[in-house]
């Protein structure tokens, strides 16, 4: 499947809430969505409350449609109280690589 839309987000969890943010993201409904081709969660080695997400979608329209769904909105609502401030987003379209866990 081809990725034509994506981004990299950096979220700062409230102190000590990084594990909860990671757990929510690793169970995100987008992981089982066919149009979500890449969904990687990482965290800063120096600050475990800094969490990174890289997403790649088949299209911007597919991403928008997914985030309008109830499960996606529930994820956002669950994340909000765990975060300190606004997340930072960078335009990024994943093109390849390797991930083994």
The per-residue pLDDT for 99 is: 81
Residue at 69 is within a domain: yes
Confidence of residue 67 (pLDDT cuts 50, 70, 90): very high
- The enclosing domain of 70 has a CATH number of 3.30.70.100
Q: Which domain holds residue 77?
A: 5-86
Residue at 95 is within a domain: no
The per-residue pLDDT for 47 is: 97
* Residue 101 pLDDT > 90: no
Residue at 36 is within a domain: yes
Confidence of residue 98 (pLDDT cuts 50, 70, 90): confident
**Closest by CA position to 20, among listed 1, 53, 48:** 48
Number of separate domains in the chain: 1
Residue at 98 is within a domain: no
Confidence of residue 41 (pLDDT cuts 50, 70, 90): very high
Mean pLDDT, rounded, of the chain: 95
Collapse the DSSP code of 12 into the 3-class scheme (helix H, G, I; strand E, B; otherwise coil) and give the result.
Answer: strand
Residue at 97 is within a domain: no
């Amino acid at each position: 499947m081809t990725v034509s839309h994506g981004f990299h987000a950096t979220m700062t969890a409230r102190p000590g809430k990084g594990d909860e943010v990671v757990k929510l993201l690793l169970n995100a409904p987008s992981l089982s969505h066919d149009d979500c081709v890449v969904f990687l969660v990482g965290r800063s080695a120096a600050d475990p409350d800094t969490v990174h997400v890289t997403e790649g979608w088949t299209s911007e329209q597919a991403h928008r449609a997914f985030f309008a769904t109830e499960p996606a909105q529930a994820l956002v609502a669950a994340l909000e109280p765990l975060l300190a401030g606004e997340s930072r987003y960078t335009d990024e379209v994943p093109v390849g690589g390797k991930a083994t866990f």
